[in-house]
C-alpha cells in the first residue's frame, strides 16, 4: 500500500520480506542497522545493488540511539594535534546535514570560563582555527556574564554547531533503503554464516522463529561494538584489535525552574574533564558525559559514582541542577581501533577493513556517517560485487509527513514492532524508556532491555 509516496513498511511487509528472502541471492548482506549499516545499505540499494539489511534488535538499537546527539566538528579535537583534517571534514558534513535533513538543527554552544576552566587564550585560538576550518574568519571575543549564567561563570565564548535525533537519522536511512528496494529486517538472529564469499546466511525471525536462508556475495559487518562477534561468526576474525570505550553516562534531567537556552560546555571542578549540557526542549536537558574502558559490548551499566560525578560537577556551576529530577540515564559504546589507555584522546575516525569478502566498518561518528558509508559501499562495489556505487549519497529520500496518528504511521511505514521501538525513535529516545512498563505493553520480554542503567 502506498500513502504520501511511502511504501508500506510494517510487521506484515516484514514478514513477507523474510519469506521472500528465503532462497534469494543478494549482492550484499549488511549486518547491523545503526547509522553506518543503514546508510551503507541505503547507498547500495540506491545504486541498484541487491541488498539485505539485518539487525538482531530494532533498527538503531546500538550506539546510534545512545549518542550525545551532536552533529559537530569536534572543537575539542583541535586540542589534540593532528586532527585538523578530521575537524574540517566533520564541519563539512555538519553543514551538509543541516541543509538536507530536517532532523538536524543549529544550536548555539557557550563555552563557560570558570575558576577551573580553560586557558582563555588557548580557547580563543582554538575557536579561531575552528572558524577558519568552517570557512569563516571570526576573531572570538569573551562575553561578560551579565546575569545570564550563575556567579561561577566569569565569562564565555560562543560558537555554533548542530544537534539531532540520532535514531531518527537511522530510521531515515532504513526507510530510504527500503524505498530503494533493499530488504530491511529488524529482530532477526543470524544462526550461521558459511562459505567464504559467496556466503550462505541462515537467519531466524526472533518474533516467531521462522527461518530463512539466502546467499550473498559480500558481507558488510556494521555491528559497531559487536564487530568482533560478527567477524567470528563469519569465520574471518577481526584483523585489528579493538578497545571498547563506554562513551559514558548521559543524564537526562527535567528541571522545574527551566533549563538553558543554549548548549553549554564547561570543565568539571573535580577533574577538569570537559562536560556539556544540551537543552532538549521544554524543561529537559542532557548532561554528559563520562568515559570508561569496558570489556564487553553489552556492558551498558553505569554506576552511582558516575552519576554523582556528573551531578556534582554540573551543580558546582549551575546550583539549580540539584533541583532537577533525573528522568533517565543512558550510555553507549564505541569501538576504537588499537589499544588505548586514554580512550578520550583516541581518534574517532572510522576504519574500513576488508578480509576476504567481508567489509568491516569500525568506529566513526554520527556526524560523518555519510563519508563512512561511501567508503564501505565503495569497498563492496569496487572489488567484490563488481557493481558501481553511484552518486554522492547516501541521501535520505524518505520524508516522514505530518500525520494525525504518528504511532500508526511508525507501525505502518517505519516498521516499529514494539512500543519501546517508538519511544527510542522519538525525541524521548531511551530517556523515557522504562523496561518494566514497556515489556508489559509488549506482552513479554521480547525486545529492548539494556538501554537503561541501574534502576
Ligand X SMILES: Cc1cc2nc3c(=O)[nH]c(=O)nc-3n(C[C@H](O)[C@H](O)[C@H](O)COP(=O)(O)OP(=O)(O)OC[C@H]3O[C@@H](n4cnc5c(N)ncnc54)[C@H](O)[C@@H]3O)c2cc1C
Residues that bind ligand X (CB under 6 A): 31-37, 54-57, 61-64, 67-70, 190, 222-226, 229-230, 247-248, 289, 332-334, 364-367
Nearest distance in Å: CB 56, ligand X: 4
Nearest distance in Å: CB 181, ligand X: 21
Nearest distance in Å: CB 412, ligand X: 22
Comparing CB distances to ligand X, the nearer of 54 and 184 is 54
Comparing CB distances to ligand X, the nearer of 146 and 341 is 341
Nearest distance in Å: CB 55, ligand X: 4
Comparing CB distances to ligand X, the nearer of 47 and 164 is 164
Comparing CB distances to ligand X, the nearer of 398 and 430 is 430
> Contact, 218 vs 27, CB < 8 A?
yes
Comparing CB distances to ligand X, the nearer of 34 and 140 is 34
Q: What is the C-alpha to C-alpha distance for residues 289 and 307, in angstroms, rounded to an integer?
A: 9
Nearest distance in Å: CB 252, ligand X: 13
Nearest distance in Å: CB 265, ligand X: 12
Comparing CB distances to ligand X, the nearer of 49 and 219 is 219
Comparing CB distances to ligand X, the nearer of 152 and 242 is 242
Nearest distance in Å: CB 363, ligand X: 6
List of residues 6+ apart from 452 with CB closer than 8 A: 328, 329, 330, 430, 433, 434, 435
Amino acid at each position: 500500500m502506498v500513502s504520501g509516496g511511502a511504501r508500506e513498511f510494517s510487521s506484515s511487509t516484514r514478514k513477507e520480506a523474510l519469506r521472500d528472502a528465503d532462497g534469494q541471492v543478494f549482492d550484499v548482506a549488511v549486518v547491523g542497522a545503526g547509522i553506518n549499516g543503514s546508510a551503507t545499505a541505503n547507498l547500495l540499494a540506491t545504486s541498484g545493488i541487491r541488498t539485505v539489511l539485518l539487525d538482531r534488535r530494532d533498527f538503531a538499537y546500538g550506539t546510534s540511539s545512545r549518542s550525545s546527539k551532536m552533529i559537530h566538528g569536534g572543537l575539542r579535537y583541535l586540542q589534540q594535534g593532528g586532527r585538523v583534517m578530521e575537524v574540517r571534514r566533520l564541519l563539512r558534513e555538519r553543514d551538509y546535514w543541516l541543509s538536507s535533513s530536517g532532523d538536524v538543527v543549529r544550536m548555539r554552544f557557550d563555552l563557560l570560563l570558570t575558576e577551573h576552566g580553560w586557558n582563555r587564550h588557548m580557547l580563543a585560538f582554538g575557536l579561531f582555527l575552528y572558524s577558519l576550518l568552517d570557512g569563516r574568519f571570526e576573531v572570538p571575543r569573551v562575553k561578560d556574564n551579565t546575569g545570564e549564567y550563575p556567579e561561577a561563570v566569569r565569562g564565555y565564548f560562543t560558537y555554533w554547531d548542530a544537534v539531532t535525533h540520532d535514531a531518527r537519522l537511522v530510521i531515515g536511512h532504513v526507510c530510504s533503503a527500503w524505498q530503494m528496494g533493499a530488504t530491511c529486517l529488524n529482530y532477526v538472529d543470524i544462526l550461521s554464516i558459511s562459505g567464504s564469499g559467496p556466503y550462505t546466511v541462515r537467519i531466524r525471525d526472533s518474533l516467531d522463529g521462522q527461518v530463512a536462508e539466502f546467499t550473498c556475495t559480500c558481507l558488510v559487518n556494521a555491528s559497531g561494538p559487536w564487530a568482533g562477534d560478527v567477524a567470528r561468526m563469519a569465520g574471518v576474525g577481526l584483523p585489528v584489535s579493538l578497545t571498547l570505550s563506554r562513551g559514558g553516562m548521559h543524564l537526562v534531567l527535567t528541571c522545574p525552574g527551566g533549563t538553558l537556552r543554549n548548549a553549554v560546555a564547561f570543565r568539571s571542578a573535580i577533574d577538569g574533564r570537559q562536560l556539556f549540557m544540551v537543552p532538549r526542549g521544554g524543561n529537559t536537558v542532557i548532561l554528559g558525559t563520562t568515559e570508561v574502558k569496558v570489556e564487553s559490548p553489552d556492558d551498558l551499566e553505569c554506576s552511582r559514582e558516575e552519576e554523582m560525578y556528573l551531578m556534582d560537577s554540573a551543580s558546582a556551576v549551575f546550583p539549580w541542577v540539584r533541583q532537577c529530577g533525573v528522568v533517565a540515564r543512558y550510555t553507549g559504546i564505541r569501538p576504537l581501533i588499537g589499544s588505548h589507555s586514554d580512550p578520550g584522546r583516541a581518534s574517532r575516525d572510522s576504519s574500513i577493513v576488508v578480509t576476504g569478502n567481508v567489509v568491516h566498518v569500525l568506529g566513526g561518528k554520527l556526524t560523518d556517517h555519510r563519508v563512512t558509508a561511501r567508503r564501505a559501499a565503495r569497498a563492496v562495489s569496487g572489488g567484490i560485487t563488481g557493481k558501481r556505487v553511484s552518486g554522492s549519497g547516501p541521501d535520505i529520500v524518505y520524508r516522514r509527513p505530518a500525520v494525525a496518528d504518528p504511532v500508526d504511521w511508525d507501525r505502518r511505514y517505519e516498521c516499529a514492532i514494539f512500543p519501546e521501538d517508538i519511544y527510542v525513535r522519538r525525541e524521548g529516545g531511551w530517556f523515557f524508556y522504562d523496561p518494566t512498563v514497556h515489556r508489559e505493553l509488549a506482552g513479554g520480554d521480547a525486545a529492548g532491555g539494556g538501554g537503561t542503567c541501574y534502576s
